């Protein structure tokens, strides 16, 4: 492998082990066509993928889903990833994370646990999650701390819980988490379907931002506070995934290899780890090379000073909103399509809007 190839290898693998999930969150970024992913890869197939990933330079393995705890072979998969020297991260709803299963994962070498929480109290949390789950999450968080893992609590923020951000932070402080991710919803998959009911108003965001800023100061040195702002309200787009097929890759439950979890929506030929090696897919498949670098860009990105900073934003969002994945992400105020986003934002700020509009839950199981 020459030096250029070695320096351009991915750092992280997002292993979406299954799209089955006991929760039914309406902001889920999993694909709408969940049934297309029922043919999940076997233990041996995942182990081969992890081995290939480690050999090509992947250093972190995020075990996610759906709910990864539903994989009965999770302990074996963690053990393989850990033995390969990768830093292993479990991304879970915490349903199924009993003390005995947690001990098994710890023994297998799991490095870090991220638990999702939907709100600061059971009524809203269970309504958003679709099943009674709040208390079990708190219990699991205590087990994670008790076994000596670093704990991240992830909270997806949206119109129906963002007003509780102070109480949410207080809860997470009580759980003694090491990190909190307050991530405003990104509109892919089921969140896209529920966008109108989820997108907060400008005022909600401004209030939340002030609360998070104060909390960050108050928690400095004790808890890392990550705040992901909604790109619909940003002047410039997010530097999605640190650039297309630059730093991360995703493998879906059925073996589809993707530059990001939403990329299955794009009209590009499938690349599957069941048919080819991860390295060949990363280096040469159209799925991975289509938007790598900057040569695919059109104006205004092509000549923009920020093209190496935000890489034109999100390809999936550009496709979703304009039908052309090579256009500038319409959240950018320089995009010729920016009116599409501006209209949605305006609607979210209309005075007549109720805060708790009905959500379409994703089905519990794929």
Contact residues toward another protein (CB under 8 A) are: 1, 6-7, 9, 11-12, 14, 16, 25, 27-30, 56-57, 59-60, 62, 64-66, 85, 87, 89, 91, 111-112, 114, 116, 150, 152, 154, 156, 178-179, 181, 183-186, 188-189, 191, 216-217, 220-221, 224-229, 231, 238-242, 248, 260-262, 314
Measured between alpha carbons, how far is 118 from 114 in angstroms, rounded to an integer?
13
- Residue with smaller CB distance to another protein, 263 or 350: 263
Phi (first) and psi of residue 76, to 5 degrees: -65, -40
- Closest-CA residue to 292 (of 78, 10, 34, 17): 10
Both tokens of residue 316?
């999936």
CB 194 within 8 A of CB 28: no
Which whole-number Å values give the CA distances from 364 to 19, 20, 62, 227, in the listed order?
A: 9, 7, 22, 28
- Residue 181 Cβ, how far from another protein at the closest point, in Å? 6
- Residue with smaller CB distance to another protein, 275 or 280: 280
- Residue 198 Cβ, how far from another protein at the closest point, in Å? 10
CB 191 within 8 A of CB 29: yes
CA 347 from chain center: how many Å? 26
- Residue 182 Cβ, how far from another protein at the closest point, in Å? 9
- Residue with smaller CB distance to another protein, 260 or 297: 260
Residue with tokens 């029922």: 38
- Residue 351 Cβ, how far from another protein at the closest point, in Å? 28
Measured between alpha carbons, how far is 8 from 246 in angstroms, rounded to an integer?
7
- Residue 37 Cβ, how far from another protein at the closest point, in Å? 13
- Residue with smaller CB distance to another protein, 197 or 260: 260
Measured between alpha carbons, how far is 40 from 63 in angstroms, rounded to an integer?
14
- Residue with smaller CB distance to another protein, 26 or 339: 26
- Residue 221 Cβ, how far from another protein at the closest point, in Å? 8
CB 56 within 8 A of CB 247: no
Residue with tokens 């290899």: 257
- Residue with smaller CB distance to another protein, 29 or 133: 29
- Residue 173 Cβ, how far from another protein at the closest point, in Å? 16
- Residue with smaller CB distance to another protein, 327 or 362: 362
């Amino acid at each position: 492998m020459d030096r250029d190839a070695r320096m351009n290898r991915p750092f992280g693998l997002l292993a979406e082990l299954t799209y089955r999930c006991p929760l039914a969150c309406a902001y889920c970024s999993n694909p709408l066509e969940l049934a297309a992913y029922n043919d999940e890869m076997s233990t041996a197939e995942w182990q081969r993928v992890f081995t290939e990933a480690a050999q090509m330079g992947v250093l972190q393995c995020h075990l996610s889903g759906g709910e990864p705890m539903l994989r009965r072979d999770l302990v074996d998969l963690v053990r393989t990833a850990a033995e390969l020297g990768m830093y292993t991260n479990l991304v879970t709803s915490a349903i199924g994370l009993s003390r005995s299963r947690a001990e098994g994962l710890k023994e297998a070498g799991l490095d870090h646990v991220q638990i999702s929480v939907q709100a600061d109290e059971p009524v809203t949390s269970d309504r958003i999650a679709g099943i009674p789950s709040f208390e079990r999450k708190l219990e699991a968080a205590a087990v994670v701390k008790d076994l000596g893992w670093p704990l991240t609590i992830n909270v997806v923020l949206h119109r129906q819980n963002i007003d509780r951000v102070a109480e949410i932070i207080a809860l997470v402080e009580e759980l003694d988490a090491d990190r909190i991710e307050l991530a405003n919803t990104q509109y892919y998959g089921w969140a896209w379907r529920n966008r109108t009911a989820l997108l907060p108003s400008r005022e909600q965001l401004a209030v939340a931002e002030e609360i998070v800023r104060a909390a960050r100061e108050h928690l400095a040195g004790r808890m890392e506070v990550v705040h992901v702002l909604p790109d619909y309200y940003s002047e410039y787009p997010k530097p999605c995934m640190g650039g297309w097929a630059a730093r991360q890759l995703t493998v879906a439950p059925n073996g589809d290899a993707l530059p990001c979890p939403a990329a299955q929506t794009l009209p590009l030929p499938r690349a599957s780890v069941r048919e080819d090696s991860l390295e060949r897919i990363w280096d040469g498949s159209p799925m991975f090379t289509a938007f790598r670098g900057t040569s695919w860009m059109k104006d205004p990105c092509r000549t923009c000073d920020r093209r190496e900073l935000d890489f034109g934003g999100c390809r999936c969002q550009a496709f979703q909103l304009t039908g052309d994945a090579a256009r500038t992400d319409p959240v950018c105020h320089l995009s010729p399509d920016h009116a599409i986003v501006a209209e949605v934002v305006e609607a979210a700020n209309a005075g007549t809007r109720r805060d708790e509009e009905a959500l379409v839950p994703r089905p519990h199981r794929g």
